[in-house]
Amino acid sequence: MDDNKFYNFGLWIGDKYVWGGSVGITNTSNTLIQEFKKFLAANNPRKKIKEVPINKGEAKRVYINSWKFLRFLQKIQENIVELIKTKDQFISYISGKIDADGTVMPYNVKFRTGFIKITYNKRNDAEKDLALLRKFGLNGCILPYKKRNAFDLKFTFNSCLNLLEKLKLKHPEKKKKLILIKRLVGR
């Protein structure tokens, strides 16, 4: 599998839309919606891709109706730690996760604390990504986010620096923040 598929796996796992046999993503970034539409089209050439505005047009949902593709993506999510074998696959996957549910925090550079975090609904999902971080020599910690009944996987400062030049973010705002951070740390 090519690295771009791993990006889209991360994007789907983070922003997934599932309803019956429908599978897709919901996001406010048109760039990410278009990226995922290409992924859907490449993997489901005979399926009609549907795109609908939600939240009074603030976000879009793009999806197809395919039980088979839904089961495929669910199997990918279930076995993601075993499927990712190379650092390039990991970088692509984690870039998709950051674009979907991550936060890039330039302010934290000042205090030399981690400036990348990903928010999860389930601790188990955060633990899978922490295992992937460690598999590739990086580190982070899982912090409960009590107000939202969620969990944050916060990357360590050194892990953030290690990923800084390698991340393949496509979300326009997060890309801008990453460029700012590169300037702040002189990389």
What is the per-residue pLDDT across 57-91, written as a single tens digit (0 to 9) for each?
999 999 999 999 999 999 999 999 999 999 999 99
pLDDT for the residue 9: 98
Name which of 108, 126, 119 is nearest 178 in CA terms.
108
Phi, psi (degrees; rounded to nearest 5) at 186: 70, 40
Of the listed ranges 110-114, 124-128, 147-151, the least confidently predicted one is 110-114
d(CA 129, CA 106) in angstroms, rounded, equals 22
**CA-to-CA dists, residue 18 to 71, 98, 156, angstroms:** 11, 20, 32
pLDDT for the residue 5: 97
Conformational region of residue 53, where left means phi above 0, alpha means psi within -120 to 50, and beta covers everything else: beta
Domains of the chain (ranges; CATH) run 3-77 (3.10.28.10), 85-185 (3.10.28.10)
Q: Which residues pair with 77 in a beta bridge?
A: none
When pLDDT is cut at 50, 70 and 90, the band that residue 145 belongs to is: confident
Q: Which residues pair with 143 in a beta bridge?
A: 152
pLDDT for the residue 103: 95
pLDDT for the residue 152: 96
d(CA 129, CA 9) in angstroms, rounded, equals 13
Could you give the percent of the chain with pLDDT greater than 70? Answer: 99
- Output the average pLDDT for the chain: 95
Residue 161, Cβ density class (10 Å: 0-12 exposed, 13-18 middle, ≥19 buried): middle
pLDDT for the residue 150: 95
When pLDDT is cut at 50, 70 and 90, the band that residue 1 belongs to is: confident
pLDDT for the residue 146: 82
- Does the pLDDT of residue 109 top 90, yes or no? no
pLDDT for the residue 187: 55
Q: Which residues pair with 64 in a beta bridge?
A: 23
Beta strand ranges found along the chain (DSSP E): 16-19, 22-27, 50-54, 59-65, 102-104, 116-120, 140-145, 150-155
Of the listed ranges 62-66, 95-99, 175-179, the least confidently predicted one is 175-179
Q: Which long-range contacts (CB under 8 A, 24 or more apart) does 120-126 make?
A: 120/150, 120/151, 120/152, 120/153, 121/149, 121/150, 121/151, 122/151, 123/151, 125/13, 126/151, 126/152, 126/153
When pLDDT is cut at 50, 70 and 90, the band that residue 36 belongs to is: very high
